Each structure stands twice: as structure tokens, then as C-alpha cells.
Amino acid sequence: MMAESSNRRKASSRGLLSNYRYLCKKAMVLCAMENARARKRHQEKRIIANMKMKRTDAHHESLDTNVLIKRSKMSAPEQENQSTLNSESTDLSKHTSVSGTANHHSVIAALGDRWEMDSGFSSEASPPASGRSSPCFSSCPTTVVALDCEMVGTGSGGRCSELARCSILDYHGNVLYDKYVKPCHPVTDFRTRWSGIRRHHLLNATPFIQAREEILSILEGKVVVGHSIYNDFEALDMVHPCHMVRDTSTTRLLSRLAGFPSKCCPSLRTLANKLLNRSIQVGKRGHCSVEDAQAALDLYKLVEGEWEQEVQNKLRDDDAPLEPSFSSSKHYMQDEYWPDDIIADG
């Protein structure tokens, strides 16, 4: 009887914990959606105000110029009227052309500002690695980085994954960061076949706390490209804004380009071989995080223009705001983030 009563209490506690976690998840999603709507409304107001100011300034400038031209006509001698009129007509047509061009550029600049404020990107175009020109606004190369991490196993049987190496590349493939990282707990499985990590790599490695601060400072405000990148975010114990993440494992654009079903999540090795004609992750020495980050970056560039346009459209859609991915915050569901009394009841 006591055992049965204990089982009932445990089952009830597990049910309460599950409900609590579900409600927390739902609250996080609703909060993120509301913040996205508020941010978008504020940005649109700023854009409209800026466009009105630019149009008003251009109009006043045109009026002032016309007044000056009329005054100069009235003060000129009659003998020079004909020649003066011709020159002034030429000046007026030039100014009108310049004003029209200025207004045109003002509208384009305003649209560019809206794109930058909505998505965090610059409208400066950058040629994709494939050689194709993007049909729409592209992200500024200085705001795009590629990330890849290698993990080792800690704890019983090496079941817990901890960061052991992190590599970050800029848009042009230059290495911004590449360090071995010492896990917080003793390593029980180096997973060398996949991670490429060996014992001697971690002897003088950077402590995790220090490495994490260095990495977060680089990623802040950047569009982060990677493959199954939320696993890397989980190892770094971080959350990155969803609209600033480009995960090559989940986008339908690359799957479609490679001829796979839209719901298929092909591996980085498969995509690199199919679309880049490149062999990676071969041999027995394990993966190289620099090589994997470069492959993910090159895959992103193949569909960069269409991908950024897709993100832009989602951000501008009031009826379907960009919802945060549960996978970006799932590490908060681990027991270490829950009150002790709830864990004890479970």
C-alpha cells in the first residue's frame, strides 16, 4: 500500500512539473510574439516620420531655389534678359533633375533603413559565393558570421555534452575565433571519431567561462550561420534572436536546391557534397569545426538573397510574427533551472 501511494505521489508530481513546464514555454512564446509586434509598430512609426521629414526638406529646398531665380531675373538688365533666361532655364532644369534624383534616393534610403531596422541587416549588397547576384537586399558581410562547435562527453558514460572547441568565421571565411575549450567537468568520452578532440588538445585549453564570454562578445548583434546550430547554442548556454539565426539544416531552400523533400533535414556532409561538390568530415581524425563552419557559410551564400527576403517578409507580417524556436530555449527545461522543491517532488 505504501509503495502504491508513493507511486501515485510521484506520478502526480511529474504531471504538475510537466504542466508547469508547458505553461512556461507558452508564456515565453506569447511574450516574444507581443514584443515582436510592439517593436515592429515602433519601427514603422519611425520610418514614416523620417520619410515625411525628407520629403518636406526637399520641397522647401526646391521652393527657395525658385524664389532666388525669380529675384535674379527681376534685377538683371533688359539687354541681358535673353541670355540670362537661357542660362537660368538650364540651371533650373538641372536643379529639378537633381531634386528628383534626391527624392528618389531618399525613398530608396528610407526603404533601406526600414530593412535594417526590421531585420538588423544592412542593405549593402554582397556577392554570393555561387557567383549569382541576389535579387533582393542582402545582409551586410560585417554582420554575418559562421559558427561551429565540437563537443565531448562528460558524466556517467559520457552522456552529457560539453563544449571542447569553437570556431567562428566572418563572411569572407576569415577565422575570427578558434580555440579549444576546457569543459567544466572531467571528460569521460572524447568522441574523437566525431569531435576530432584528443586529450592533449585540452591540456592548456581556455576555461569554459572565459571562452563563453569571448564567444558571446563576437556573436552579439550578428547573423549567425551554422548547421544544427541550436546544439551549439545549447553547448554555449546561450540564446540568440531567432531572426538572426540561419540554420542550414532546417531551411527548405537548400533541401529544394539539392532535390530533397522539403521536410528533409540532410546532414552538412550530404549538402556540401551535393551542392558544393566538396568532401568534408572524411577520414578517422574526426570533424574540423573550421571546415564545417566554412561549409555552412558557403551553403548559406547559395540561397542568401532568397533566404533574407523570406526572413524580411516574416518580420513584416503582422498576422504571422516570427515565433521563437523551442529548440533555442530548451536548455531552460533542464532540471538545474527548476526550483529545488519541484525537483524533490519529482
Quick one: 257 and 145 in the same domain? yes
Quick one: 105 and 145 in the same domain? no
Which residue is listed with cell 560539453?
162
Confidence of residue 327 (pLDDT cuts 50, 70, 90): very low
Q: What percentage of the chain carries pLDDT values higher than 90?
A: 41
CA distance 330 to 240: 13
Mean model confidence pLDDT for the chain: 74
Kindly state whether residue 270 falls inside one of the protein's structural domains: yes
Quick one: 237 and 111 in the same domain? no
Kindly state whether residue 128 falls inside one of the protein's structural domains: no
Sign of CA dihedral 337, 342, 345, 346: negative
Nearest residue to 32 (alpha-carbon basis) of 329, 237, 231: 329
Express each pLDDT in 138-177 by its tens digit: 556 779 999 999 999 999 888 899 999 999 999 999 999 9
Kindly state whether residue 79 falls inside one of the protein's structural domains: yes
Quick one: 290 and 168 in the same domain? yes
Which residue is listed with cell 521536410?
263
Please count the structural domains in the chain: 2
Kindly state whether residue 132 falls inside one of the protein's structural domains: no
Quick one: 175 and 65 in the same domain? no
Least confident of 70-79, 95-104, 260-269, 300-309: 95-104
pTM beyond cutoff 0.75: no
Quick one: 150 and 70 in the same domain? no
Residue type, position 6, single letter = S
* Per-residue pLDDT at 57: 63
Express each pLDDT in 47-98 by its tens digit: 777 777 766 666 565 555 555 555 555 554 444 455 544 554 445 444 444 4
Which structural domain, as residue segments, surrounds residue 25? 2-119
Least confident of 34-48, 77-91, 277-291: 77-91
Quick one: 107 and 145 in the same domain? no
Q: Highest mean pLDDT range out of 26-40, 120-134, 286-300? A: 286-300
Are 255 and 266 within 8 A, CB to CB? yes
Kindly state whether residue 209 falls inside one of the protein's structural domains: yes
Q: What percentage of the chain carries pLDDT values higher than 70?
A: 61
Quick one: 43 and 176 in the same domain? no
